[in-house]
């Protein structure tokens, strides 16, 4: 890909980064808190683009990794909350465990409810941070090795991932004494780094999320630009050809699947820091499918596009939900938006922008772009 195209791509990323960092100049803390949540969704959009757009693997259970990240962070922050520290034990004990404890159970984190010992390592907040990113990656690595190793592809991968997220949701809601079931984890403490407390409604927290998103987008973009990224796209186009060139195709698919899972885990972790709750609704199928819609509208072939798609849709949704007559209609609107994009802009907003810019850049570049867009 030559000259002007590579350049405008770089400027698109740089412009987006500058925009994110400049937002605190124009908005108040409440608005920034809301935007920070959307930035977490943007990260999810990028994660979906990485697997769906670049690897050709449609994961309908991306919410699983987001959920793991969210719960891991929420467990650590729950133990830091004021109420957890006030249960009359040396160690913090989450309030809901008391409500769920058997009569006569000791008020200790180790043994108040069956399995409550699993919370012990989360007294150290970094356990939550590390588990939130590493566990999704490891889990995705195992899933990938099994699924891709068996040469399972296409819709079957979607069905397996979809079933898995529902299964985990069932377990989480069922394990009430351990997870607070349907209620999720609320009343959380704040993340503290070197004495700085990340108040969800402070600009510092917004910057934390914004910088994380910029890094994720930049690094992902670099990752797909490596030879490994090109080979990954090659496996998407023809896994047989890649196999006969000597590539261990499942290894490539698994690697990027794990990277995508780690990004989703990070998004979940940051979301909890911003929103102060973790809920089993993260594990609902509709949430995972919504992420796919974001990526499709933004452009699954573009990491930045998918992220912007996610952020824009959520911003619009927030505005619409303030207009009462549109609240009910929102689901229909987003459905329609999805259908229209898939039919008229199969490459999403990013693909559309790609073509527009090409036309401006002159006939030669336009021709090249048109070809890139596959017309």
- Residues in contact with another protein by CB under 8 A are 1-2, 223, 225-228, 230-231, 233-234, 236-238, 240-249, 251-252, 255, 368, 371-372, 374
Residue number with CB closer to another protein (246 or 363): 246
Contacts for 365 with CB less than 8 Å, ≥ 6 apart? 3, 4, 5, 358
Minimum Å distance from CB 255 to another protein? Answer: 5
Minimum Å distance from CB 368 to another protein? Answer: 6
Minimum Å distance from CB 242 to another protein? Answer: 7
Residue number with CB closer to another protein (58 or 164): 58
Minimum Å distance from CB 58 to another protein? Answer: 16
Minimum Å distance from CB 66 to another protein? Answer: 24
Minimum Å distance from CB 373 to another protein? Answer: 9
Residue number with CB closer to another protein (93 or 258): 258
Residue number with CB closer to another protein (231 or 316): 231
Residue number with CB closer to another protein (29 or 372): 372
Residue number with CB closer to another protein (222 or 339): 222
Residue number with CB closer to another protein (243 or 361): 243
Minimum Å distance from CB 130 to another protein? Answer: 22
């Amino acid at each position: 890909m030559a000259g002007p195209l590579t350049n405008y791509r770089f400027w698109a990323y740089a412009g987006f980064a500058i925009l994110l960092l400049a937002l605190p100049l124009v908005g108040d803390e409440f608005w920034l808190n809301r935007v920070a949540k959307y930035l977490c969704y943007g990260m999810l959009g990028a994660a979906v683009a990485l697997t769906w757009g670049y690897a050709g693997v449609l994961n309908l259970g991306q919410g699983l990794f987001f959920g793991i990240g969210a719960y891991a962070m929420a467990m650590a922050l729950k133990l830091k909350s004021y109420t957890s520290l006030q249960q009359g034990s040396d160690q913090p004990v989450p309030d809901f465990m008391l409500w769920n404890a058997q009569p006569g159970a000791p008020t200790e984190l180790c043994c108040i409810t069956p399995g409550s010992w699993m919370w012990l390592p989360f007294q150290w907040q970094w356990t939550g941070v590390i588990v939130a990113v590493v566990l999704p990656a490891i889990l995705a690595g195992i899933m990938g090795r099994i699924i891709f190793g068996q040469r399972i592809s296409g819709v079957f991968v979607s069905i397996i991932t979809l079933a898995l997220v529902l299964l985990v949701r069932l377990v989480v809601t069922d394990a009430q004494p351990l997870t607070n079931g349907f209620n999720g984890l609320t009343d959380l403490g704040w993340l503290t780094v070197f004495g700085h407390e990340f108040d969800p409604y402070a600009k510092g927290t917004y910057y934390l999320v914004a910088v994380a998103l910029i890094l994720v987008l930049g690094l992902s973009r670099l990752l797909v630009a490596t030879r490994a990224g090109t080979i990954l796209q090659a496996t998407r186009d023809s896994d047989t050809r890649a196999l006969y060139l000597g590539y261990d195709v499942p290894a490539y698919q698994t690697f990027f699947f794990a990277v995508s899972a780690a990004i989703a885990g990070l998004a979940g972790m940051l979301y909890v820091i911003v929103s102060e709750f973790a809920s089993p609704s993260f594990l609902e199928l509709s949430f995972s499918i919504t992420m796919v819609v974001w990526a499709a509208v933004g452009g699954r072939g573009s990491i930045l596009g998918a992220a912007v798609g996610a952020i824009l849709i959520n911003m619009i949704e927030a505005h619409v939900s303030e207009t009462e007559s549109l609240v009910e209609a929102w689901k229909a609107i987003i459905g329609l938006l999805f259908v229209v994009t898939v039919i008229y802009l199969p490459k999403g907003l990013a693909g559309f922008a790609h073509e527009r810019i090409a036309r401006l850049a002159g006939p030669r570049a336009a021709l090249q772009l048109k070809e890139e867009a596959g017309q």
